[in-house]
Amino acid sequence: MTAPCSYFITGTDTEVGKTLVSSALLHALAQRGLRSAGMKPVAAGAALRDGVWHNDDADLLAAATNIALPAALTTPYLLREAAAPHIAAALENVAIDIAHIRRCYEQIAAAAEAVVVEGVGGFRVPLSPEFDTADLAQQLGLPVILVVGLRLGCINHALLTADAIAARGLTLAGWVANGIDPAMPHAEANVDALAERLQAPLLGGVPWLAVPSAAAAAVHLDFSCLPGWPAAHAVSP
């Protein structure tokens, strides 16, 4: 089962703003009056607070979700070590199972009208010796949104990621330019170069935000061209 508005968020690398864009997308969906849920299937790096293990990215997605869902569904694999998932999982003797992730996604999709699934790291991050996040995205079959962190090398990283998405038979539904380096020279020229080469619409550019938030990022983004995006009349009063 797939909720009418469901998307897979990937990035050109780790720490490029996937969670910020995912939260902004959830914020925009909620503003349209949809029951919206964020999912971080695999989260590596957790801290113990009040006797419960927390991951910052998973918590931010949960804060942007407007329906009540158990963490065991939205983050089926919460790993303690801040390392590549296959390494963190091995340290905890955990076997990451794509079929289990898919079952969790299907339960979320049954309860929500929109689901935003955030990957981990870039598009080809190993999850086990047998499969990686690209395999997970392919199994879910959702339109993909690419977050490009604007820093030196981002053009190459973005184009290679777009090629990998296409190679899996997935649709690159749009991309976001995220200003992660406020001192990056020629940032606008880099965005122009990507706009000429990526076969997907630019959903907007998020400037470097001193205090990032879902609402602040959403102001700079236009998701209306995404497949399945709700019409304006669906906006809640």
What would the pLDDT profile of 47-86 be if each residue is shown by its tens digit?
999 889 999 999 999 999 999 999 999 999 999 999 999 9
Query: In this predicted model, which residue has the larger pLDDT, 49 or 236?
Result: 49
- The stretch 24-36 carries a mean pLDDT of 96
Q: Mean pLDDT in the chain?
A: 94
- Residues of the chain above pLDDT 70, percent: 97
**Nearest 5°: phi and psi at 233?**
-70, -10
Cα–Cα distance measured from residue 193 to residue 186, given in angstroms and rounded to the nearest whole number: 11
pTM for the complete prediction?
0.95
What is the phi-psi region of residue 107: left when phi exceeds 0, alpha when psi lies from -120 to 50, beta otherwise? alpha
Told to judge if 40 belongs to the known catalytic residues of this protein, a careful annotator would answer: yes
Answer whether residue 226 shows pLDDT above 80: yes
- The stretch 113-127 carries a mean pLDDT of 97
**From 18, 27, 40, 157, the catalytic residue:** 40
Cα–Cα distance measured from residue 115 to residue 117, given in angstroms and rounded to the nearest whole number: 6
Supply 75's token pair.
Answer: 């983050």
- Residues of the chain above pLDDT 90, percent: 93
pLDDT tens per residue, range 181-221: 999 999 999 999 999 999 999 999 999 998 999 999 999 99
Q: Which domains does the chain have, with CATH numbers?
A: 5-234 (3.40.50.300)
Answer whether residue 28 shows pLDDT above 90: yes
Supply 54's token pair.
Answer: 């927390």
- As a whole number of Å, the end-to-end CA separation of the chain is 29
